[in-house]
Amino acid sequence: MSEFVDYAGEELTPAIALMLVGALLEGVSLMLLIPIAGLLVHGSSQGGGLSYLVNFIPLENRLGQMAVLLGLFAAMVAVRACVLTLRDRRLALLQLGFIDQQRSALLRELTAAPWSFVASLRHARVTSAVGNEVHMMAATAQLLLQSIVTISMLVAQWLLVAFIAPWLSLMVAALGIIGSICIVPALRKASHRGFQQVERQTAVMNAAGQLLAGLKLAKAQNAEAAFLDDFSRHTDALTGNQIESLRRQSRLRVSNASVAAVVGAVMLLAGMALKMPPPILLTAIVILARMSGPIMTLQQNAYHIAAMLPSHASMSNLRKSLRQSQADDERASDASTAICTIGTQDVHYRHADGGGVTGVNLNLRRGEVVGITGPSGSGKTTFIDLLTGLLQPEGGQVLVNGQPVDASQFRQFRDRIAYIPQDSYLLNDTIRHNLAWGRADVSEAAMWRALEASGASQFVGQSQNGLDTPVAERGSRLSGGERQRIAIARALLRCPDVIILDEATNAIDVVSERLIIADLVAMPSKPMIVLVTHRPETLRLCERLITFEAGQIAPEIHLRKIGGKATLAPDRIGVPPFELNR
């Protein structure tokens, strides 16, 4: 609620004013019932409240007076309806804005968090927060506001009853307190189910994500049933929880309705026993009857809030941990600084399960073509993540231009590094949009030059819509090699000082790959090119070969150069050398 109030700021004042005006109009229209009931029962206005209003009506006959009072009552109801509509519209706008703000804040914090933290998050945890929890949070805030409105209405109505029938109002207050105490165990159970709901929703999201990611493979292996079983298990658990919650709510509604009927009867009898004048008793009963609806709404709201607060807790915890993890990155500068050398000094990093790199000492220079190889799991990607500042070393340091850099200083070099991973990420958009990702200043001529260098110009040129060809979700309309070429072209458009290809050409045939790398080497800016690969043909294109073994660097191989062009010693790679020219 406090987050909602912070968000709404001054916007909340008119909404609260409308709530109060609504409550006031409710009270006034109910007070009008006393002279109406007086005219109906006695033929004259008796019994206090607004009865004196009848004296101002310049009509003698009872029917005329009744018509004026009823007209006044109807006008009051209509004005109140307009006020309530305005109030609800304002509250709805605030709620939508709040959802938007919370979602944007979460995504901002997510993008600002260090990679090591983001990599440890379950994707379903984030999608559940963005998709479900943020809505639950906003709904909770709205229910709380609604409850405040309802309570203000109830207080207005109770004051009216207190004004016209003090004993009845005391009985109502006592019953209200008893009812609130009785509902506490139900709220505890609702909260418990709310926590289960958050876990089960996340599990369903996770299962849906896995199903989509693995459906092609599952179809190819007739394994769809296993996926469906897993998915159904999670959805059954979620649905079971929701059904149980609905069952409990309907039980609560039945008991509420029964209690309300008994309370109404007791009030009527008590009023008669207290010898209250019929117009007063009638009006008090009408007011009490009108109070029963909001009281039930209040109980239902309390139940829903108890069930939804765990979503809020889950979202808040996620945001809190994201904020804590980004403390260092926040101090980052946005200035871009050229990279001449990048290296590591006795760098050490261990992942949670023990894998990683130890004692890595390297210095890579701009203009070099460096090959990084080694068995699977030997630490190549971990090393690259350290080199690009995505991971922070637990020991030793990363040096850029000979100076140690920490997380807060790394950002200034990010624009100068192009990292292309094995699974080239493409947006579900056109080739043009993918090439210009995050930049507004890329010309069409530059795009074609980059496509030419990555060997993609031919297939893009032949597509019916050229640069405006959509690539579909994660580039699924393109082949693996085409996706990689687009990703390389996008990286080249950033004119980087360092280009890192982490198995990023493994879907491209060897001859084309050689041509692409030759183009990278021939770039006038002479970037540092780091090729992480298992392919001997690719390693032959490098000047230096760094081999990782169990997280450490094996003795480095420096390769000879032939006529200024890089080649590899054939005996170390197992394939004859060739020159890096086209």
Ligand X SMILES: Nc1ncnc2c1ncn2[C@@H]1O[C@H](COP(=O)(O)OP(=O)(O)OP(=O)(O)O)[C@@H](O)[C@H]1O
For ligand X, the binding residues (CB under 6 A) are 119, 351-353, 355-356, 374, 376-382, 548
Which residue has its beta carbon closest to ligand X?
355
Q: Which CB, 161 or 360, lies closer to ligand X? A: 360
* Start-to-end CA span in the chain (Å): 66
Q: Which CB, 117 or 231, lies closer to ligand X? A: 117
Axis-axis angle for helices 62-112, 12-31 (nearest 10):
160
Q: Which CB, 349 or 410, lies closer to ligand X? A: 349
Contact 481, 430 (CB under 8 A): no
C-alpha 218/C-alpha 283 separation (Å) is: 69
Least distance CB 372 / ligand X (angstroms): 9
Please give the order of strands across the beta sheet that includes 403-405: 356-365, 341-350, 395-400, 403-405
Coil/strand/helix, residue 418: strand
Q: Which CB, 191 or 422, lies closer to ligand X? A: 422
Would you say the C-alpha torsion 532, 536, 539, 544 has a positive or negative sign? positive
Residue at 533: amino acid letter: T
Q: Which CB, 8 or 508, lies closer to ligand X? A: 508
C-alpha 375/C-alpha 88 separation (Å) is: 63
Residue at 45: amino acid letter: S
Judged on CB neighbours under 10 Å (0-12, 13-18, 19+), 469 is middle
Q: Which CB, 140 or 373, lies closer to ligand X? A: 373
Least distance CB 350 / ligand X (angstroms): 8
Least distance CB 504 / ligand X (angstroms): 12
Say how far residue 315 (Cα) sits from the centre of its chain: 8
Q: Which CB, 241 or 382, lies closer to ligand X? A: 382
Judged on CB neighbours under 10 Å (0-12, 13-18, 19+), 578 is middle
C-alpha 273/C-alpha 268 separation (Å) is: 9
Least distance CB 422 / ligand X (angstroms): 8
Q: Which CB, 46 or 382, lies closer to ligand X? A: 382
> Which residue's structure tokens are 């687009």?
486
Least distance CB 509 / ligand X (angstroms): 21
Least distance CB 351 / ligand X (angstroms): 3
Cβ count near 269 (within 10 Å): 10
C-alpha 370/C-alpha 224 separation (Å) is: 43
Q: Which CB, 288 or 386, lies closer to ligand X? A: 386
Least distance CB 364 / ligand X (angstroms): 17
Cβ count near 434 (within 10 Å): 23
Least distance CB 552 / ligand X (angstroms): 12
Cβ count near 428 (within 10 Å): 14
Least distance CB 399 / ligand X (angstroms): 20
